[in-house]
Every structure is written in C-alpha cells, then in structure tokens.
Amino acid sequence: MMMTKAGMAVWDEVQGDCDAQRLKRALDSSGEKSMTLDGWTPLHYACENRSISDATRAQAIQTLVQYGVDVNAVDEHGWTALHMLSKNKYVAEQDSSLNELLAGGANAGVQTTDSKRTALHFLCENEGVTPSALTRLLKARIDVNAADQDGNTALHYLTENTSITTELLTPLLEAKADLNTQNQFQSTPFHNLCQNSLLTSAFVRLFHQHRANPNTQNNIGNTPFHFACENYSLTVDIIQEFISSKLVNLTITNSLGKTAPELIPAHKQDCVAFAQKYAAPSMGSNISLATAKVSTVAGGEDASDLPSPLTKHLTSWNASLPPFDMAFYNAICCEPAFASTYEEVQEISLQLCEAPNNSTLFHSWEQCLTKWRTSLLVAYTALVQPDLWSNYAEKYGRSVPSDVSKVRGKVVEVWQRFPDPAQRRERLDALTGLFSA
C-alpha cells in the first residue's frame, strides 16, 4: 500500500525532531493507529531516536499512546518500544520517557525472541543507566532474576557495566536480585563484578553483606577471588575485604591448578606481599618464599596438644626440619602431592593421644613422622634455592638439616635445569627420591 503524505509526516517526525504538535497533526491526518515501517511502530522509532531530548521524547510518547499506538507491539525479533528505550544510552540519563511509556501500559516483563532479554537486561547494560530509572522499572512488576538465553540475569549485566556504582546496585539488591545465579559459563554476577575495572573493596563488602558466594567456580574453575586477583584494579584493601569476610577459601585451584593469589600481577608487589601472609606458596605458586614478608617463627607440628611423654619427641622432630615458617608448613600440608601422607600423621597422632603408652602405635607414629619429614625435605629443596638456605637458617633460628646439606650439589643441579619460578613441579619430580624415608 502506498504511503500517504500524512503517514510520511509521522515517520519523518519520529525519526527527526519529534515535535509533539506536528506529530499530533500528522497522526490525526493519517487516521492510522497500527502503522508500521520495516516492522517498527512510531513508538519504536521515537524510543530509538538519539537526537532528541528526554523531555521531547516523553511528549512524543504521550502523544502516540494517547492516539492509540500499541505500546506493546513487537518487531520480528520480539522487541517492544520499551526494549528500545532501555537500550538507548542517550535517554537513560533521564526518566520522563520511561515514566510515560510505563504509564501508557508498557509490559516490562516481555522478553525478546532473539536473546530472551527483558527491558531490565538492556537498562542494566546501558552505560547511561540511573538509579531512579532502575527503581522505576523494578516497580513495574518485572522479574529481577529473569535469565536471557545465555543464562544472564540483569545483575550479570550491571556488574560488568563500566558505569557501575553502589547506588546502581542498591535497587537490584533491594529487589532481591540473586547474586549467586550462574550463567551458561557458570559465572555469577560476583564473577563479573570482580572482572570489572571499577572493582573496589566497597563493592566486595556489599556483595558479601548480601551473601554472595566467593567460592563458586565457573566453567574453568575460577572463583570471584581468582578474577579479583588478576584484575589490574586489585588493591590490598580488596584482598583484605575478601579475607576478612572469613568466607573465601584461599586453597581453591582453577583448571590450570592456580589458586587466586597466584594470579596477582607481578608488578603489584604490595598485593603479593599482603596475600602471602595468608596464602603460603604451594608447588604451583607464583609467589616466592624468597620474596615473601612472612613470620620469623619456625614452623612445624604443634606439640602442645600431645600428652607430655610425646611432647619431647615431637619437639625434637620439629627441630630436625629445614628452616621455614608456619605458612610454608601449612601450604605443604595442603599440597595434593603430600596431603595423604600428612593425613596419616594426623590419624595416627589422634590414636596415640588416646593411648600414649601403646608401643605399637608409637612405632607407627615415628614411621609416619619420618615419611612426612621426607616429604617436607623434598618440598623445601624444590621451593627454596640452595643459596638462600643459610639466610633462612638465620631468619628462622633453625639449622639446615645435615641430610639436606649433604645433597646440596644435586639440588643445585636440579635448580640449574629448572631455574624458572614456574618450574616448581619439575623440580619436585626431579628431587623426589633424593631423600630416603
């Protein structure tokens, strides 16, 4: 059907200046309430128009709605005028247009057919979004936790928005947005937040207060803390906020075997040093024991919980260990290569505490301690360069064991073959068997 002159005037107006009076005259002259152009109604064009002010657009929307244009008409992809408006970053800064559209009966819960997104998804992705616009849209009985075809909720988009503020997050959190919903990549909004260049300790605190899980792993094993640690916006305050929450598990490894602290950029030395106080190096660690600011108290087993006949023996055993601190000791206890051996020590120790005079148990305990000590010697020589042994002996007040000193030459050869800090696993494999249990 040929377009009338009045019809052409309507399309010119909604794509141009959108003057309300001229638009009304054109509509009255056309007499057509269901007109479309390329699948869009005049409301679609008015809401998509980026060259007019919010006040002008609001008046145009009011004029079109009063005339009878279907406020919930969809195009071939299921987009309504509200979808267009929410995505238009040039109008999100003001709310008059949004108010007019919702007052006119716009259904805020409609999901597009191409991506299954609602207006809230688009508004949260919009860099021009305002707290008041979010609050207004949330009052329109919209499902704050609706997921799109990729499993993303509106909060997923808001947390990766480069305009994010706590004021923007508040309306969604007050509307009970789920902070732990996982998308198709198993990432939660907390994962997205921790990858955002605007990440701060205040954001982390806010998410912890609303029960966001810092230990959820995505499809490659990364937790939110992993992403925070590799974020170039990382600060000591952010790390401290994670740790002080008492929720984060520092031992979780991703698919590459890396814990979160191991991903801290090397140039962030203050962050590396701070994280080292809580996350000691393991066989895969990028954090060097040589550069860490750790305690000067030598590490080992706690003898205070044992019956007095056993305390003296365990104290002597501690003294036979290489010079390292408690953080290093705890890290080796959790290292998968040695965990089963340490569990044997713990189990037999518990049994011996119940029967300290049982000679058979005591003998088994001695054997377990000997085996465990061998593991510690291997770990120590794989992690600490031989040139540093004397420094640690002085620092921790414990001599380098004679059986370690005797094989120094072989340890040096292994370090020459695998000098890279990332080659800890290769050194471990090469040194296993060097000490006989």
Task: With CA atoms as reference, report the closest residue to 154 among 128, 126, 186.
Answer: 126
Q: For residues 395 and 404, give the distance between their C-alpha atoms in angstroms, rounded to a whole number.
A: 18
CA 124 to chain centre: 19
Residue 253's DSSP bridge partners are 259
pTM of the shown model? 0.65
Q: How many CB atoms lie within 10 A of CB 143?
A: 14
Q: Residue 306's pLDDT is what?
A: 73
Instruction: Give CA angle at 398 (393, 402), nearest 5°.
Output: 85
Amino acid symbol at 392: Y
Q: Residue 28's pLDDT is what?
A: 82
Q: Which two tokens stand for residue 365?
A: 């305990």
Q: Residue 287's pLDDT is what?
A: 42
Q: Residue 1's pLDDT is what?
A: 45
Residue by residue, pLDDT tens for the chain (437 residues) are 456 766 788 888 888 888 888 988 888 888 778 788 888 999 999 999 988 888 899 999 999 999 999 999 999 999 999 999 999 876 555 688 999 999 999 999 999 999 999 999 999 999 999 999 999 999 998 999 999 999 999 999 999 999 999 999 999 999 999 999 999 999 999 999 999 999 999 999 999 999 999 999 999 999 999 999 999 999 999 999 998 877 787 778 899 888 899 999 989 999 998 887 665 444 444 444 444 444 567 888 887 767 777 888 889 999 999 998 887 888 788 777 788 888 888 888 888 888 888 899 999 999 999 999 999 999 999 988 898 898 888 888 999 999 999 999 999 999 999 987 678 888 989 998 888 75
User: Residues with Cβ < 8 Å from 251, sequence gap 6 or more?
Assistant: 259, 279, 334
Q: Residue 93's pLDDT is what?
A: 56
Q: For residues 132 and 346, give the distance between their C-alpha atoms in angstroms, rounded to a whole number.
A: 58
Q: Residue 283's pLDDT is what?
A: 44
User: Residues with Cβ < 8 Å from 27, sequence gap 6 or more?
Assistant: 10, 42, 63, 64, 67
Element holding 390 (H helix, E strand)? helix 389-396
Burial of residue 406 (CB within 10 Å: 0-12, 13-18, 19+) is exposed
Element holding 43 (H helix, E strand)? helix 42-48
The rounded radius of gyration (Å) of the Cα atoms in the chain is 32
Burial of residue 40 (CB within 10 Å: 0-12, 13-18, 19+) is buried
List of domains in the chain: 1-29+37-178 (1.25.40.20), 188-279 (1.25.40.20), 308-431 (no CATH)
